[in-house]
Amino acid sequence: MRRFGGSPARTISRAVTFLVLLLVTVVMLYPFWFMASSAFRSLQQYTLGLPGLSLASWRLLLQLLPIGQQVLNSSIVTFGSILLILILSAMGGYAFSKLSYRGSQLIFLAILASMMIPVQSMIIPEYTNLSYVGLINQYIGAILVYTALYTPFATFLMTMYFRGIPNDLIEAAVVDGLGYLRIFFRVMLPMAIPALATIVVLEFIQIWDDFLVGLLFLQGPDVRTITVGLATLNAARVLNVPVMMAGSLVSAIPAIIVYLLFQRYLIAGLTMGMGK
202 and 151 Cβ atoms separated by less than 8 Å: no
In this chain, which of 123, 165, 173, 189 binds other proteins, going by CB under 8 A?
123
Q: What is the closest distance, in whole angstroms, from the C-beta atom of residue 163 to other proteins in the complex? A: 14
**Contacts to other proteins from residues 141-160, by CB under 8 A:** 144-145, 147-149, 151-152, 155
44 lines the binding site for other proteins (CB under 8 A) = no
Rounded to a whole number of angstroms, the minimum distance from the CB of residue 55 to other proteins is 20
Interface mask toward other proteins for 171-190; x: CB under 8 A:
---x-----xx--x------
List 60, 139, 209, 221, residue binding other proteins (CB under 8 A): 209
Mutual orientation of helices 8-39 and 241-274 as an angle, nearest 10°? 130
- Please report how close the Cβ of residue 1 comes to other proteins at its closest, in angstroms: 10
Question: With binding defined as CB under 8 A, does residue 21 bind other proteins?
Answer: yes
Site membership for other proteins, residue 218 (CB under 8 A): no
Closest CB to other proteins among 56 and 85? 85
Interface residue with other proteins among 114, 137, 160, 169 (CB under 8 A) is: 114
Q: Which of 41, 126, 162, 196 binds other proteins (CB under 8 A)?
A: 126
CB 11 within 8 A of CB 215: no
Q: Which of these ranges, 52-60, 113-121, 161-169, 189-197, lies near other proteins under the rule CB under 8 A?
A: 113-121
Q: Which is nearer to other proteins, 151 or 223 (CB)?
A: 151
| Contacts to other proteins from residues 53-82, by CB under 8 A | none
Is the Cβ of residue 68 or residue 100 nearer to other proteins in the bound state?
100
CA distance 247 to 196: 31
- Convert the chain into a string of H (helix), E (strand) and C (coil): CCCCCCCHHHHHHHHHHHHHHHHHHHHHHHHHHHHHHHHCCCHHHHHHCCCCCCCHHHHHHHHHCCHHHHHHHHHHHHHHHHHHHHHHHHHHHHHHHHCCCCCHHHHHHHHHHHHHCCHHHHHHHHHHHHHHCCCCCCHHHHHHHHHHHHHHHHHHHHHHHHHCCCHHHHHHHHHCCCCHHHHHHHHHHHHCHHHHHHHHHHHHHHHHHCCHHHHHHCCCCCCCCHHHHHHHHHHCCCCCHHHHHHHHHHHHHHHHHHHHHHHHHHHHHHHHHHCC
Contacts of other proteins in 220-259 (CB under 8 A): 227, 230-231, 234, 241, 244-245, 247-248, 251-252, 255-256, 258-259
Which of these, 190, 191, 186, lies nearest to 165 by C-alpha position? 191
Residue 137 touches other proteins, criterion: CB under 8 A? no
Contact region for other proteins (CB under 8 A) — 59-67, 75-83, 127-135, 160-168? 127-135
Q: For the window 23-42, what string marks contact with other proteins as x by the rule CB under 8 A?
A: -xx-xxx-xx-xx--x----
